[in-house]
Amino acid sequence: MSKIALIAFMMSSLAFSKSYIVRLKKSVGVQTTSLKSFLKSNKVKNMPLSFGNFYVIDVKDSAQLKRLKSLKKSDHFISMEENVKVSIYPTFDARDGRGGGTRKPKPKKPVFTGPLFSEQWALVNDGDNAKSRKVEKGVPGTDLNALKAWKMIKGDEKIVVAVVDTGIDQNHKDLISNMWVNEAEKNGKDGVDDDGNGLIDDIHGYDFINNDSDPFDDHSHGSHCAGVIGALHNDDGIKGLMDKVQLMGVKTFSKWGSGSMAGILKSIDYAINNGAHIISNSWGGSSAASPAFKAAVAKAEKKGIIFVKAAGNSNEDNDKVNNDSNLPHSNVIIVGAHNGAGDKAYFSSYGKKNVHVFAPGTAIISTVPGDKFEKMSGTSMATPYVAALAGLIKASEPNLTPEEVRERMIQTSIKTKSLKSYSQSAGRVDAFRALKNTTR
């Protein structure tokens, strides 16, 4: 083969080197082996999910793609979509209040130690919380009103919040006491699927990147989100909005912050099937919500699980763009980010129709692996605050439906001129007002 022909062949192969997610009706006649034979490909994997019969199929040439598309004519066919790449929303360097996204974990300085509650402006804003970073000057009282909320309730160890992210450092001193524990696996035999969920030794969650039972965070984003939700209330480190909670680690993204829709589907299914009450999602893709993703969210909706998702960091109007956060389900809460002055964070996406609430999301200090703490900014940080607020509300009033929890947050938000046009709430969430169910 000539050099030119070889290059052409390589380019052709790359053009068709794609992965697809196909959903078929459950039938004895639809099996992995028969699909492999029909497609003339060994790259067919069954993805057993509780909300449908899905297959991940890798396509390497035009002939395979043509055969794959011909499945649409089958009586078994339901949907087909590309297995798109997704990532955690860019983590913004908070040192200058702006910065850029990074996908590769890099050590940051300074690393914070000691009692850090005074740095948590999102919980108690005195107007100058972020002393060590040059960020927008805060306005006293522009916070979640956490102290008053905590006089009512600090959480409940029965509430399980699944963090679909880069994993969690389950040994972090501020997180270890609040980690979800799969008792059947913890008290069972090593190397045995004691709870019968198809996974072995998943004590604190599962790693769908490396396909093992240790959802350890090798990035930092997931642990940061977990700390925002449920860092232990003590005299050292930080405080989560919830003091009592179970944090389920679901590792969906690699140490580079990348993942796939197939991984998302498996992660959501895991959270649903293992008792999560709330699923926190600080991630996104570049396309509209797919049929498979909507099916996963619909299953969570059917189970009464609250699904909290970041609006995005592209400063776009989600009412006008295709965004995988634009979901019609009653259990979904989409979150934008505001700064310490109560203004929309410059990066935050928004939408009078498709974004429900705004929460603190700039210069947020929280837990990262190795008993350390760092500041990050993004709708990624605002999302776990809303997930935690949902947890407080559910702990206080367990019979509320996800839609009622969402409506409570929207109606009790503090209405502000600067946020009026950016979400359904026309303002920012307030934990005390949400728990008290008051607009004052």
Tell whether the model's pLDDT for residue 243 goes beyond 50: yes
Q: How many CA atoms lie within 13 A of 380 on its CB side?
A: 34
The question of whether 418 is a catalytic residue gets the answer no
pLDDT of residue 90: 60
pLDDT of residue 131: 58
Give the end of a domain, one of 18, 51, 83. 83
Cα–Cα distance measured from residue 220 to residue 230, given in angstroms and rounded to the nearest whole number: 15
The question of whether 62 is a catalytic residue gets the answer no
Q: Are residues 50 and 118 in the same domain?
A: no
Looking up tokens 């367990």, which residue turns up?
Answer: 398
Alpha-carbon Rg for the chain, nearest whole angstrom, is 22
Cα–Cα distance measured from residue 229 to residue 395, given in angstroms and rounded to the nearest whole number: 14
pLDDT of residue 104: 42
Q: Are residues 29 and 98 in the same domain?
A: no
Q: Are residues 157 and 238 in the same domain?
A: yes
Give the end of a domain, one of 19, 53, 83. 83
Domains contained in the chain, number: 2
* Annotated catalytic residue within 87, 280, 282, 380: 380
Domain encompassing residue 167: 87-436
> Residue 147 belongs to what H/E stretch?
helix 146-152
Q: Are residues 37 and 138 in the same domain?
A: no
Mean pLDDT of 269-295: 94
Q: How far is CA 296 from CA 86, 301, 342, 400, 418, in A?
A: 16, 9, 34, 22, 35
* Annotated catalytic residue within 165, 169, 174, 217: 165
* Coil vs helix vs strand at 78: strand
The two tokens of residue 58 are 């890798």
Q: Any idea which of 104-108, 170-174, 293-297, 395-399 has the lowest mean pLDDT? A: 104-108
Q: What is the DSSP string of 330-362?
A: TTEEEEEEE-TTSSBPTT--B-TTT--EEEE-S
Q: Are residues 63 and 209 in the same domain?
A: no
Cα–Cα distance measured from residue 123 to residue 120, given in angstroms and rounded to the nearest whole number: 6
| Cis peptide upstream of residue 110 (ω within 30 degrees of 0) | yes
Q: Are residues 320 and 405 in the same domain?
A: yes
* Annotated catalytic residue within 221, 277, 338, 356: 221
Cα–Cα distance measured from residue 400 to residue 379, given in angstroms and rounded to the nearest whole number: 26
Q: Are residues 278 and 363 in the same domain?
A: yes
Q: What is the DSSP string of 394-419?
A: HHH-TT--HHHHHHHHHHHSEE-TTT
Q: Any idea which of 16-20, 79-83, 132-136, 307-311 has the lowest mean pLDDT? A: 132-136
The question of whether 317 is a catalytic residue gets the answer no
Q: What is the CATH number of the domain that holds 51?
A: 3.30.70.260
Q: What percent of the chain has pLDDT over 70?
A: 88
Q: Are residues 134 and 236 in the same domain?
A: yes
Mean pLDDT rounded to a whole number for the chain: 89
Q: Are residues 78 and 142 in the same domain?
A: no
pLDDT of residue 100: 35
Tell whether the model's pLDDT for residue 97 goes beyond 60: no
Q: Are residues 237 and 138 in the same domain?
A: yes
Q: Are residues 205 and 284 in the same domain?
A: yes
Is residue 44 within 8 Å of 32, Cβ to Cβ? Answer: yes
Q: What is the CATH number of the domain that holds 238?
A: 3.40.50.200
Q: Are residues 47 and 168 in the same domain?
A: no
Which band of pLDDT confidence, cut at 50, 70 and 90, is reported for residue 296? very high
Is residue 348 within 8 Å of 313, Cβ to Cβ? Answer: yes
Give the end of a domain, one of 26, 60, 83. 83
